[in-house]
Structure formats: structure tokens, C-alpha cells
Amino acid sequence: MAGVVKTLRVDGRDAAMATAVDGEVFREAMSRIGAAVHIVTTAGPAGRAGATMTAVSSVSDAPPTLLVCINRTGRLNTILRGNGVFCVNTLVCGDEDLAGVFAGKGGLDHEARFHHGQWSDGILGTPVLAGARAVLECRVSDVSEVGSHTVVFGRVEAVHLGRARSALLYVDRGYRVLPHIETAD
């Protein structure tokens, strides 16, 4: 069932306001919002795992904190929580196939996914992707369950800045590239 929409006047113009929205309509709306593509990784006593995500956001710069939203039923959720650390690797143009591997294309288990791409261990032991635009290594600081997902907050303990290149985005259910434009200092 589609959401109920009411029309109201805002600043002399008609505006639509949804009063109830089902999951399908919400997912369609979210598909229209572009987001950077990341591979979120973890390693430690619970094992090594990684998955492609767009649900990553900064929370604060004092202390530096970000969040990731992980499907509650996914294996990454259990492993990441068991390890207490994670790494956000931001992808660039040309990483589309790697993003597909870590999104589950090909049916590879989490360990086998790391045979694709060049990985090293970060200071927290998390897998760090060579060539990533930015890498943020985090220690879990808080966890909240919201609907079908776990929101994991992480305090950033290390940042690795890669070369500024064209960013990989996901919008309209497909990968897109945001070209890098050099700026004058």
C-alpha cells in the first residue's frame, strides 16, 4: 500500500505531506538519494568480515564519531559486534566490481571476499583497502537497535587519506561516478 499523501499550502504553494508510508515506498524514495559507497570491514577474535554499504554518516567531530547501519540478520552484524572495531573504506571510480563482491555478488563468504582488492591491517587490526579515498578505523562506542538494523557508533581512532579521485556513488539502484575536480589552494 502506498503512503497517504495530503496536500497543504506552504508559502502560497501546494506541498505534499506523507502521513503514512510503507517500506516499499520508503525504499524507492531512498534509492533516489545518492550516497557514497563504502566497504565496512572488521577483524578480530570473532573473525574477519566486510560488506558494501551506503548507510554511513558522520556524527560528531568532538570526539570524531561516525555511525554505520547494519542489517540485524547479517553475519557482519555478529562479527563486528564481537570484534568491537570496524573500518570504513570509501570507494572510488573503478571499484564497482569490488563493491559488487562485498555486496554479495558471486555468493562468496566473508573471508573469500578479501581475495579481491589489496588489503592490509590497520592500527586496530581492521582490513584497510589500498587506494581508498578515505579510511576511518573505529572502535565501537555504542550500539542501538532500530527496526531491521543495528546502528553502530564508532569513535574514530585512525584516519588514512588516499588520493582525492572520482568518488563512487550509489543512486537510482546503480553505481555512478562523481568526478573529482581539482581546486586551487
Tell whether 85 and 161 lie within a shared domain. yes
d(CA 40, CA 27): 21
Looking at residue 24, what is its pLDDT?
87
The residue range of the domain holding 11 is 1-31
Q: Do 86 and 6 have their domain in common? A: no
* Domain total in the chain: 2
CA 9 from chain center: how many Å?
36
Q: Are residues 27 and 100 in the same domain?
A: no
66 and 83 together in one domain: yes
Per-residue pLDDT of the chain (185 residues), as tens digits, is 455 555 555 566 666 555 577 888 888 888 889 899 999 999 999 999 999 999 999 999 999 999 999 999 999 999 999 999 999 999 999 999 999 999 999 999 999 999 999 999 999 999 999 999 999 999 999 999 999 999 999 999 999 999 999 999 999 999 999 998 887 76
CB-side exposure of 108: number of CA atoms within 13 Å? 18
Residue 184 falls inside a structural domain: no
Domain match, 25 and 47 both: no
Is residue 32 exposed (0-12), middle (13-18) or buried (19+ Cβ within 10 Å)?
A: exposed
Q: What is the DSSP string of the chain?
A: -PPEEEEEEETTEEEEEEEE--HHHHHHHHHTS-EE-EEEEE-STT--EEEEES-EEEEEETTEEEEEEEETTSHHHHHHHHH-EEEEEE-BTT-HHHHHHHTTTT---HHHHTTSS-EEE-TTS-EEETT-SEEEEEEEEEEEEETTEEEEEEEEEEEEE----PEEEEETTEEEEE-------
Q: Do 166 and 142 lie in a common domain?
A: yes
- The reported pLDDT for the residue numbered 84 is 98
* The predicted structure's pLDDT at residue 95: 97
Name, in order, each residue with C-beta under 8 angstroms of 48's C-beta and a sequence gap of 6 or more: 41, 42, 79, 110, 111, 114, 127
185 lies in a domain? no
Quick one: 77 and 127 in the same domain? yes
- 159 shares a domain with 101: yes
Whether 40 is covered by a domain: the verdict is: yes
Our CA dihedral for 19, 23, 24, 29, rounded to 10 degrees, sits at: 60
Residues 118 and 155 in one domain: yes
